[in-house]
Chain A
Amino acid sequence: MNKFVSRRELLSLIGKTGATAAVLKASTALGLVPETNVQFPDIPSVNPANRPAVVILGGGISGLTTAYELDKAGYDCVVLEAAPKAGGRCMTVRSGDLIDEVGNPQICEFDDEPHMYFNAGPARIPSTHRNLLRYCRELGVELEIFVNENKEAYVQDDAMFNGKPIKNAAVTTSARGFMAEIMAKNFTGHELDQPLNQYEAESLLSAIRSFGDLSEGDVFKGSTRSGYAHGGFIEHGVQKDVADFSELLKTDFMRMILGQNEGETGPVLFQPVGGMDKIVQGFTNKLEGKIYYDVMVASVNLNNGDGVEVTYEHKGMKYKIQADYCFNCIPSHLMTGIENNFDDNYIEAMRYVRRGEAYKSAFQAKTRFWEKDDIYGGISWTNQKIQQIWYPPHGVFKDKGVILGAYDYGGGMHFTKLSQEERLETAIRQGQKVHPEYRDQVEKGITIAWHRMNHMLGCAARWARNRDGMTADEERLYRTLQQPAGGRHYMIGDQISVHSAWQESAILSAHWAINDMVKRQSGISTMPGQKLS
């Protein structure tokens, strides 16, 4: 008879047999951990004769979201943006574009064709980022599938197989095969068949076998999942040799490769057709005449709970602007250099946030050489400084393509410190270990060191100083900066989230701020003119 196993029993069972981390993961899977939710803003329309004035500082995704939503509801919005174009980190580079790195300005010389672009900042949209996807639909931004993991792409590590690149599929099948073998062999059932009934135990064992594609006797003898050495269609396929498991243990890649396809980098992922900044254009099309470029905010001061005064500079002239509300996505580490009259707690919080680091580079490829290698989209991994090579999922079979030649995320200072020539030479030299023909194939390289990009000087604000996440003190600082200064000035952007480096977080920070403003505003009159009593 099947014994009923409750969710909680199953969790405690996993807890007994495995680590506590397994319980945490499992409980999310079963939907016991509540998902935090920010409501999509529902903004009461304002009286056209008495429109609150809103000044939005910075045309990043969060600033644009705020302007778009408040403009729809009838607010009088203005966006002030320091760069000559909006989007901030949401930046796509095409032929003729300037990469405004401090001390290393570059003009992109890619061929001028729609598929020849590089997403220098965000490149992936996870299918779970509902609010970003909602805007794509609403703004008419056409999407296509982005390929993150590709089993035909390579894995290369100097410590493994003498540094020879091997196909991701070979690593994956071998790793899974050997892991499954160990699991199946240890599956004597002693501990397990007590809490699991026989049916469940069999089900688990067969999953283990299938996970590793085990042969008779629960041994791993290789798998056609990594493809055939030859044949397979008209002639019988000859299986490839098994990638030596002991080689895989020499590196970190097994862990990385097996984890890559999960969470926010797991399928399904999207990208806008023609470049990530199509999202920015979607917003700016709706905000015609409301965004001012080349405008550098110079001071932000609260007027005794009665609005905000902002001064800015444009082409050497100074201006002043008064608004009822201010939404500010200028990176906090740049706000610390902008004159203001915020209170000490707010400033303390602003000063606490650390600048993140990120680096990307890209090349134009003279031919789509990767396609000859059965690679269409996806990522090759290497233990070298370039870490990753990305192949474009779009433009299949065209003459050329743009590939990402290095992506150093989270510690992107190695390349940042090099000269442009050294950056590109390093990328080519290291790329050659993955594709021997690389040097002849790539040209017109560009590099983007976010730590040095003008008006950004960083990526992905960091609140936590250690790996275990925010301390109570950090949580306090975060909540301080999330609250509106003087009830009127909101910091927004992915910096006001616990999950920076995603556009969804930037959008949700804007939604949070808008909702808060609406809540505080419920006293605001819907009648024309000023309320006297």
Chain B
Amino acid sequence: MKKLISSCLFALFFSITTQHQSVSGQQYDKLNLDSQPLSNKVCATCHGSYGVGNPIVGGPSLAGLEPWYLKRQLEGFRAKHRGNETDYVPGNEMQVSVARLSDNEIEEVVSFIATWKPVEPEQTLSGDANNGSALYASCAACHGINGMGNELLGAPALVGRDDWYMARQLKLFMSGNRGGNPDDVYGQQMRAGVQALGSEQDINDVLAYINTMN
């Protein structure tokens, strides 16, 4: 299990025997749907507490994602550039989760997630990092030699990301399920970038190499 890299500061400490303040009632009042609270709750159910990620639900870690990239992905899901795959449940679930967000709400969520501390990525795959290193040469142009990403090119950092999640994304890019939409400019670039990978083994190898950069 991953650990928060720096421990959280608690606004308030108390032990079980001290007095709890009383918390909200039993039932929702009639809610105005548009004012659904956009608390971290909405995202944390799938992405884990403070965005540490949840491999079983399929929500990758969000803590530490570059705000510009995060924003673009939320917009991309909202516009159905992503998450519109048939029979890819994780993508579909993420898509509906943010389909109703307004521009303001996206801003709000992005700045909120920026307060979450980066976590150690999950390393679950094994591959040949030497071969991966060779394959990575073609990725480096956009994602940087150290995998730190390049905002100007719109390519996010790959260090710090869960390998199981990246593996799924590379497959989606390969099949054109991600990056296949003509309006998805950055996705299309990456789709071109993934052509360097020919097989599942290549995917494992390049991710094994990326894991070594963490």
Contacts and interface: CB of A to CB of B under 8 A. Distances in A.
Contacts of A332: 56
Contacts of B48: 336-339
A452 interface: yes
Given A289-B22, A298-B44, 14 more contacts: A53-B17, A76-B17, A102-B96, A293-B25, A296-B44, A299-B49, A317-B11, A321-B14, A333-B57, A334-B54, A336-B55, A337-B48, A339-B1, A341-B3
Interface in A310-335: 311, 313-314, 316-323, 332-334
Contacts of B45: 102, 334, 454-455, 457
A318 B12 contact: yes
A297 B15 CA distance: 15
Contacts of A336: 48, 54-57
B57 A339 contact: no
Contact of B96 (A289, A295, A452): A452
Contacts of A451: 93
Contacts of A417: 92
Contacts of A338: 48-49
Given A452-B93, A454-B41, A293 B8 contact: no
A320 B18 CA distance: 12
B57 A457 contact: yes
Interface in B1-36: 1-4, 8-17, 20, 22-31, 33, 36
Contact of A454 (B4, B42, B55, B99): B42
Interface in A448-484: 451-452, 454-455, 457
Contacts of A9: none
B40 interface: yes
A318 B47 CA distance: 18
A337 B57 contact: yes
B39 interface: yes
A498 interface: no
B27 A104 contact: no
A278 interface: no
B40 A339 contact: no
25 contacts: A76-B17, A85-B28, A97-B28, A98-B31, A102-B42, A103-B93, A105-B36, A289-B22, A293-B23, A294-B23, A299-B49, A317-B11, A318-B9, A318-B10, A319-B11, A321-B15, A321-B16, A332-B56, A333-B54, A337-B48, A337-B59, A417-B92, A451-B93, A457-B45, A457-B57
Interface residues of B, number: 54
Contacts of B53: 337
B50 interface: yes
B109 interface: no
Given A337-B59, A339-B1, A454-B42, A298 B16 contact: no
Given A320-B13, A347-B1, A355-B57, A296 B20 contact: no
A314 B23 contact: yes
B56 A322 contact: no
The A interface is mostly helix, strand or loop, or mixed, namely: mixed
Given A104-B96, A289-B22, A454-B41, A337 B17 contact: no
A102 B97 CA distance: 5
B121 to A, nearest CB: 14
A131 to B, nearest CB: 25
A44 B171 CA distance: 57
A200 B120 CA distance: 72
B49 A296 contact: yes
Contacts of A292: 20, 23
B140 interface: no
Contacts of B49: 296-299, 313, 337-339
Interface in A61-81: 76, 78
B65 to A, nearest CB: 16
Given A84-B27, A84-B28, A103-B98, A313 B40 contact: yes
Interface of B: 1-4, 8-17, 20, 22-31, 33, 36, 39-42, 44-50, 52-57, 59, 89, 92-93, 95-100
B62 to A, nearest CB: 11
A294 B95 CA distance: 25
Contacts of A78: 16, 20
A97 to B, nearest CB: 7
Interface in A253-269: none
Interface in A369-426: 413, 417
A319 B15 CA distance: 9
Contacts of B30: 96, 107
A245 to B, nearest CB: 39
Contact of A105 (B13, B33, B55, B59): B33
Nearest to B95: A103
6 tightest A-B CB contacts, nearest first: A337-B48, A337-B54, A103-B96, A298-B49, A53-B16, A333-B56
Contacts of A84: 24-28
B56 to A, nearest CB: 4
A340 B49 CA distance: 11
B113 to A, nearest CB: 14
Contacts of B29: 96
A323 B18 CA distance: 12
A491 to B, nearest CB: 14
A499 interface: no
A293 B4 CA distance: 25
A342 B1 contact: yes
A175 interface: no
A347 B15 CA distance: 27
B16 A76 contact: yes
Interface string A284-315: 10000100111111110000000000010110
A322 B33 contact: no
Contacts of B23: 292-295, 314
Given A296-B41, A336-B55, A102 B46 contact: yes
A351 interface: yes
